[in-house]
Amino acid sequence: MVDDDKGKIEDATVESGQTPLNDEARRHFLQGGIAVAAGLVLLSIGALDKVFRFFFGPRLTEQEETTILRAHVKYSEQTLSLEKLELEREHNNYIFVAALADLDQTTGKYFIDYDMGPALAFLGSDGLPDLLSAKCTHLGCTVGNQTNDKGQVLCPCHVSYFDIKTGAPTPDSPAKTPLPHLGWVLMDKQKKVLASRSAAGEISGDIGHAKQQGADVYIQKTAGAV
Ligand code: FES
């Protein structure tokens, strides 16, 4: 550059109040500022994320949210149906168990008793219902509904066998007390009581007639268990 041109540039720079050094410094300053701002934004997002997670738990994937939602719906449905069963038992003196003709000697039909416990209905060898609690007397698991060749049902939790005729556990079972038997009532289709048996085994009514009528089996609120 000739001395004349150089002089002009310096003059112009002096006139505008800027020097090449000042521009450079400003650029660095700006870049630094942007970097710091970006860092602060990222930091604040991370901090916000931590705060969010602290209060609302970890973020879930769509699939995890769907799974949780489904489990929640299922739990609500179960709660609802349990409440319905409870209300039904509260307001009715009789609860339908099964048609007598549908009972079987080796496969018990599950139902819920008046205490909201699981129970089983078998057909006894006399052709009458045989109802007993299905709540294991060891630690409360539900016993199976299939009898083995000795007429026993199994509680799979800690392996207790119960004789369905007597309710008694086998001597080597962890359960030491029998499954209580439940009373029952036989009714015709018009819900007229034909016969009944208490939990203690006392029979009333015309059993023969009830059998011929194709009666339905009910449990009765006051029947209790023995
Ligand atoms: S709960 Fe049935 S054997 Fe333990």
Nearest C-alpha to atom 3 of ligand 1 is from which residue?
A: 158
Rounded to the nearest 5°, which phi and psi values hold at 123?
Answer: -100, 125
- What are the CA-CA distances from residue 96 to residues 35, 69, 131, 135 (Å)? 76, 34, 13, 19
* pLDDT on residue 14: 47
Distance 140 CA to ligand 1 centre (A): 6
Residues of the chain with pLDDT > 90: what percent? 58
Could you tell me the distance, in angstroms and rounded to a whole number, from the CA of residue 106 to the centre of ligand 1? 21
Alpha carbon distance, N-terminus to C-terminus of the chain: 117
In this structure, the residue with its CA closest to atom 4 of ligand 1 is: 158
Predicted local confidence at residue 225, as pLDDT: 52
- Could you tell me the distance, in angstroms and rounded to a whole number, from the CA of residue 103 to the centre of ligand 1? 25
Better pLDDT: 48 or 94: 94
pLDDT tens digits for range 99-116: 999 999 999 999 999 999
**pLDDT above 80: residue 218:** yes
Residue to mutate (ligand 1; options 133, 135, 137, 141; most atoms within 8 A of CB): 141
pLDDT score at 20: 56
For ligand 1, the distance from its centroid to the CA atom of residue 65, given in whole angstroms, is 36
Residue 83: which pLDDT band, with cuts at 50, 70 and 90? very high
**Span 173-184, pLDDT tens digits:** 999 999 999 999
pTM, two decimals, is 0.69
**What pLDDT is attached to residue 19?**
56
Quote the percentage of the chain above a pLDDT of 70.
Answer: 81
Give me ligand 1 centre to Cα 158, in Å.
Answer: 5
